[in-house]
Chains A and B, each alone.
Chain A
Amino acid sequence: MSSVAQKSGFGATLWDWLTTVDHKKIGILYLLGGLFFFVLGGIEAMIIRLQLITPNNDLVSAGLFNDLITMHGTTMIFLAAMPILFGFMNAIMPLQIGARDVAFPFINSLGFWMFAFGGLFLNISWLFGEVPDAGWTSYASLSLHSPGHGVDFYAIGLQIAGGGTLMAGINFLVTIINMRAPGMTYMRMPLFTWTTFVASAMILFAFPPLTVGLFFLTFDRMFGGNFFDHTMGGNTIIWEHIFWIFGHPEVYILILPAFGIFSEVFSVFARKRLFGYTAMVFATVLIGFLGFMVWAHHMFTVGLGPTANAIFAVATMAIAVPTGVKIFNWLLTMWGGSIKVTTPMLYALGFIPSFVMGGVTGVMQGAAPLDYQLHDSYFIVAHFHYVIVGGVVLGIFAGLHYWWPKMFGTMLNELLGKITFVFFFVGFHMTFLIQHWLGFWGMPRRVWTFMDGQGWNIANLVSTIGALLMAIGFTVMVINIIMTTIKNEPVGNDPWGDGRTLEWAIPSPPPFYNFPATPLVRGLDTLWIEKMEGSKEMITPAEPITDIHMPNGSIIPMLMTLGLFIAGFGAMFHQETSWGLGVLIFGLAFTFVAMAARSLKDDLGYYVTKEQILQDQENSKRGRN
């Protein structure tokens, strides 16, 4: 079937999206999936804050509160932040390196479906009324102790989603290594591509420990494994090590792509190349490396002994150095530039002070003896929200406004964008700044209520009002997205006017084959070079236009994941039901059959002919005039 002659109608469109292997469409799927879970996690957050608005509040019960905090954390990290970033990586990174696709389009689709079904599995727990309640860290003694199937949903859901993440990471790594356009050396790659690269490498090393940990947990809970059960010779602290060997790098997996987005935004809207590009690259790599060396700073109070604590304390502080280099390089990128405060730039500007504050409180916790006071207090809640919201979420919002025209061919409303920013930013600081003091005043984290008369009332009230402002800000953004989509005013290649990297050289949204001819890259900020030389086409082709080979779409990735999804329920219910084991086997067999179908049937893809491409170019030119 030629993909050029598209069928129309709802069914055909749906089928197209279910089977797509186009990296840009998968990027959009990730984005939509991530935003959906972001809304879900946000609602959970709002209920948490409403419960804590006054002392002795009884809006939700103690058990439900623990469900909410667990799902809020898990959802935001695994199902919102990471997938949205994957959305940008998928949609933008191949364009930035001048590639036509990712290295493994089929695996790319499989990764997305595993995320989608893993997230679905986790959240179906709400319908069963047995929700994970041991915290997003699911420390072993509590997670083994937790009755019902809540933690089972956590273990299996994250296992499926985590598999998808690992695949996506490997795919991005291979893509960046193998599919760069001619001339795109490593030291000419845009910073977002670099951070994608380092984050993917981190995924490659961080996710296997999580997989192992979840496997142990699954076997302890569902098959009597006794890895963590100390009454049977297991050890719960092993879980903590395994979890944080994954969990700490995970933080950098989230923040590095956000750093990448900000690097792009700063240099575009300051109309200046990134200051200290080389240092930025090395800082990124160094942060990636150090990210694996510091996991035990989450465990200073576990009782590791002074030597271990001292080593991990100093290692943790060391991360501040490359991060500081980055901050000052961003500042110097602005210095001497021509700064235009667009919505994405506004987020980048909001990011600097917010993230610096989150970073310095991280160093404070790195001082182990001080952490004895801070650990598991509200100070920690404040710190990591400053890093995750002040860094990652602001980065996501910046990227959303920045790349929206490239991904969808239409521009989000600037005024609404700025209104969103003001509400969100003010609300964010109002919510979390005061929480540092709550920690100092002795309030532990993860408490579903608190007694009157401990000096915490007003601070909690302020915090909750701040959270409401954030919710208003986000609502305005959703309205913005809906309005923009309905209006659908098309934009040109480079709607911001100052694009520097290759993605701005091609139409918005790009044709499905991205580049009619592979571009030739002649330096950092390829498009900027072309602009400065006054080149008309904005792209120097590395080769003449020829037929382009493209992969076929496939429903198999979705079917493979569906099998795992079914098998998950089987594993969970096999103890109390007679059908559980059968379902487990059926689900796995289903997946294996789908895999066999993929292996045994050759799928050679198809060619887009040269004539077709030339026709497209002609049409788009006519459309522009």
Chain B
Amino acid sequence: MIKGLKKWRLFSLLAVFALFMAGCGNEEISTFQPAGQVANDQFKLLLLASGIMLLVIIVVVIIYTVALFRFRRSKLGEDHIPEQVEGSHTLELLWTFIPIVLLLILAIPTVHYTYKLGDVKAMEAVDDDGNAENLVVDVTAKLYWWEFEYPDLGIVTAQELVVPTDEKVYFNLIAADVKHSFWIPSVGGKLDTNVENVNKFYLSFEKESEGLKDGVFYGKCAELCGPSHALMDFKVKTLPRDQFDSWVAAMQETAEEPVVANADGEEVFSQSCIGCHAVSGVGESGAQGPNLASFGDRNRVAGFLEHDEENLKDWIRDTQKHKPGNTMPSFSKDQISDEDLDALAEYLMGLKVAK
């Protein structure tokens, strides 16, 4: 009876705890509101660990408070000489043994999840026709922007990752210049993008991003990578499988029938920008600058500025002001006149694949 009661107490404590934590933070970025299996596993581990650790803190603080109030010299008198106790084997064994048990409770799921989340065997799996069974995305982190290539689909995009919901998406991660780290807090823990080797892991996206504040999950670079590390954000759009497929088809079409919202703008683009930026979504990673095929659909300019023509023009005029240390040159009025810039901005904002 007593034991049952205690269990019930612990359970309700954890439940309240979970509720309290889930209430905090913004849905598109908080680890407290997991939007997929990986983040969910990690959240479960967080609750377990926090519960155990809170227990330890409470026990320590209770003993501490009692000791502090009971054994004050002001109560015992200035001349009181306490007994000089050497120690106690029983007690010391007790507080060696109990922590070991507590740690074991934590260690077992830790090891289990370590292997579960590190399992990328399915990455290479192919069906009878030799097509990959799972979606694989190659991520290349570059100085302050992200490139996402879908090798099996022949398309490439940047700054905004588009993925289908309710299936495992596998990632190959590498950095092109210095080390970065790929992190989508509400979808799952991070993995570094090293310069010399490819890291692999999977995430699973179970919530559609459409209902979120900006219609996207926030992704971050978590490893210090230079002055504009703080601005190396990316966004994640999650779509149901059929919508994802049509997005892929639309991306593949950008090679044949380019969208032209402003012909003058296209002219400017082909003179000044095409050396680094592609406007066809069909291709591979390795470009100098982000692929702009779906630029009009994006949520941010340069990964973090509000997505409007003013910011876009500001950005082109002075890239270093907005993102110090990035590798895109700024374009002065001598290089691109104001009228040309207006046309260019309109053209870029018209580059859309989503209908």
Contact = CB atoms under 8 A, between A and B. Distances in A.
Nearest to A273: B84
A339 B80 CA distance: 10
A528 B99 CA distance: 34
A447 B114 contact: no
A23 to B, nearest CB: 31
A372 interface: yes
A276 B81 contact: no
A306 B24 contact: no
Interface stretch (B8-16, B102-110, B240-248): B102-110
Interface string A361-385: 1011011111111011100000000
B29 A455 contact: yes
A168 B240 CA distance: 63
Given A272-B84, A331-B63, A236 B230 contact: no
A275 B63 CA distance: 15
Contacts of B343: none
Interface stretch (B154-162, B186-194, B263-271, B276-284): B186-194
B92 A329 contact: yes
Contacts of B221: 444
A142 B189 contact: no
A272 B30 CA distance: 48
B226 interface: yes
B45 interface: yes
Contact of A455 (B26, B119, B194): B26
Sort chain A's interface into a size bin. Answer: 35 or more
* Chain B interface, >50% SS class: mixed
Given A237-B194, A376-B190, A277 B87 contact: yes
Contacts of A352: 60, 64
Given A63-B325, A331-B64, A364-B46, A371 B189 contact: yes
B230 A441 contact: no
Residue of B116, B185, B200 with most partner-chain A CB within 10 A: B185
Contact of A373 (B99, B110, B190, B223): B190
A142 B61 contact: no
A273 to B, nearest CB: 5
Interface string B23-47: 0111001111000000101100110
B316 to A, nearest CB: 20
Interface in B98-131: 99-100, 103, 106-107, 109-111, 113-119
B87 A313 contact: no
B222 interface: yes
Interface string B196-207: 110110000000
B304 to A, nearest CB: 6
Contact of A135 (B45, B115, B220, B224): B224
A373 B47 CA distance: 13
B96 A321 contact: yes
A120 interface: no
Given A63-B324, A442-B186, A337 B82 contact: yes
Interface residues of B, number: 94
A242 to B, nearest CB: 15
A356 B63 CA distance: 13
Contacts of B87: 275-279, 329, 332
Interface in A535-555: none
Contacts of A368: 110, 113-114
Interface string B73-107: 10010001111111110011001100110010011
A321 B186 contact: no
A228 to B, nearest CB: 10
Contacts of A356: 56-57, 60-61
Contacts of A142: 178-179, 224-226
Contacts of B200: 303
Contact of A305 (B116, B118, B179): B118
Nearest to B25: A441
Contacts of B222: 301, 375-377, 444-445
A66 B229 CA distance: 10
A482 interface: no
Given A317-B107, A356-B56, A441-B31, A370 B71 contact: no
B19 interface: no
Contacts of B88: 275-276, 332
A191 interface: no
B179 A141 contact: yes
A357 B177 CA distance: 38
Nearest to B189: A372
A338 B85 contact: no
A19 B226 CA distance: 43
A441 B29 contact: yes
Contacts of B114: 306, 309-310, 313, 368-369
A451 B73 CA distance: 53
B220 A369 contact: no
A622 B161 CA distance: 83
Interface in A366-423: 366-373, 375-377
Given A303-B197, A309-B118, A324 B84 contact: no
Contacts of A449: 230-231
A453 B191 CA distance: 25
Nearest 5 interchain pairs by C-beta? A372-B189, A306-B118, A442-B185, A447-B230, A360-B53
16 contacts: A62-B227, A66-B226, A146-B226, A314-B107, A332-B85, A335-B70, A338-B76, A367-B110, A370-B189, A375-B222, A377-B185, A440-B24, A440-B30, A441-B25, A448-B230, A455-B26
Interface of B: 21, 24-26, 29-32, 39, 41-42, 45-46, 49-50, 53, 56-57, 60-61, 63-64, 67-68, 70-73, 76, 80-88, 91-92, 95-96, 99-100, 103, 106-107, 109-111, 113-119, 175, 177-179, 181, 183, 185-186, 188-192, 194-197, 199-200, 213, 218, 220-231, 233, 304, 324-325
